[in-house]
Copies of this chain bind each other. A is one copy, B any other.
Amino acid sequence: MQLPVAIIGASGYAGVEATRLLAAHPAFELKLATSDRWEDDALQSRLGPCGPAGAHHYAAHPETGADAVRAAQGCVAALLCTPTEASLALAPALLAAGVRVVDLSGAFRLRDARSFEHFYRLEQSDPRLLTEAVYGMPELGAQVRAEISKARLVANPGCYPTAAALALAPLFEAGLLADEPVIVDAASGTSGAGRKATEEMSFTEVADEFRAYRVLRHQHTPEIAQAFSAAAGREVRVTFTPHLLPVRRGILSTAYARLAPGRAARELKQALLHKYAAEPFVQVLGAPDQVGLRGVVGTNRVQLAVECGGAPHDPERVIVISSIDNLLKGAAGQAVQNLNLMFGRPETEGLLGLHPL
């Protein structure tokens, strides 16, 4: 028997992907997909046929209101594909109604409420939830997986932090990186900005263009630092520079660190291979120029590769390049992966069979 689940915020780009994945998922029944942007029929027609007829219901409830919570009653879990502000209100209400939550926004990712308030310009509504929320990045290890499986509230990681943390965390854990600030230089497709009606994101402005944005103030910076610090067991300082690519989907992250004194360059790739040996979604490739968007977009995969020691000018420099689909492994795919863990399903269920176009 399928478990009933809900999606709140189904019309955003990540919401659409989540809806498609869950509508086709063998273990879950998508009982409810709400949107405050599209009416019922629009939602149905925009998403298209995405599962057995009648298997799910598209509603047009206001996302943030009590209506959405009431409609989700009876579901075992809800995916919040809502803006951070909406998630801050919805998550406690859903939990109170006995609905487990995977939140795709930034509402519950940062342990440090002050950092959250600094970067998001929002107040943490329920700080107790911060200690309860589990940061849902399964590949970080067995303990994280165990926590996710029991969690009432999973904070689904951000897209850039997913790409960056999966690249460097194993190296920090293995003590392979020197204690100096790390740089994450990354680029994302436009769907990362969400469904937008702005001149700035219009085709005529974005095409043939490439530029950085939110330099030194992007809200994923503390999330990346938190993930690196947790893996290193010490505070890691991070500079993060996102750029906007003239493509629709995909993130490529180029991270720069330094080899720890006394360690050998060859240990880096070994650490990645060891960490990810059994991971179905992680591909450790042989060279950084093999990592790209086209091998991951449309899938829940991560591709990564490390390089060190080749530079005559700076031989201890470590470069790790990683890529993901910002809407799948960076959002809806990882959310379904977490949902699988929360309900004792195989972690890959409903996530294989995707392939790049």
A interface residues, Cβ below 8 angstroms from B? 13, 20, 24, 48, 50, 115, 118, 181, 183, 185, 187, 189-191, 193, 195-199, 201-217, 221-222, 225, 237-239, 241, 243, 245-250, 252, 254, 256, 287-295, 297-298, 307, 310-314, 317, 319, 321, 323, 353, 355, 357
CB-CB nearest in chain B for A249: B357
| A307 and B216 within 8 A (CB) | yes
| A212 and B310 within 8 A (CB) | no
Contacts of A187 in B (CB 8 A): 187, 210, 243
| Cα distance, A247 to B243, chains bound together (Å) | 14
Contacts of A292 in B (CB 8 A): 209-211
| A20 and B355 within 8 A (CB) | yes
Please give the distance in Å from A315's CB to the nearest CB on chain B. 9
Please give the distance in Å from A29's CB to the nearest CB on chain B. 17
Please give the distance in Å from A288's CB to the nearest CB on chain B. 4
CB-CB nearest in chain B for A235: B313
| B247 and A208 within 8 A (CB) | yes
| A202 and B204 within 8 A (CB) | no
| Cα distance, A252 to B242, chains bound together (Å) | 13
| A207 and B313 within 8 A (CB) | no
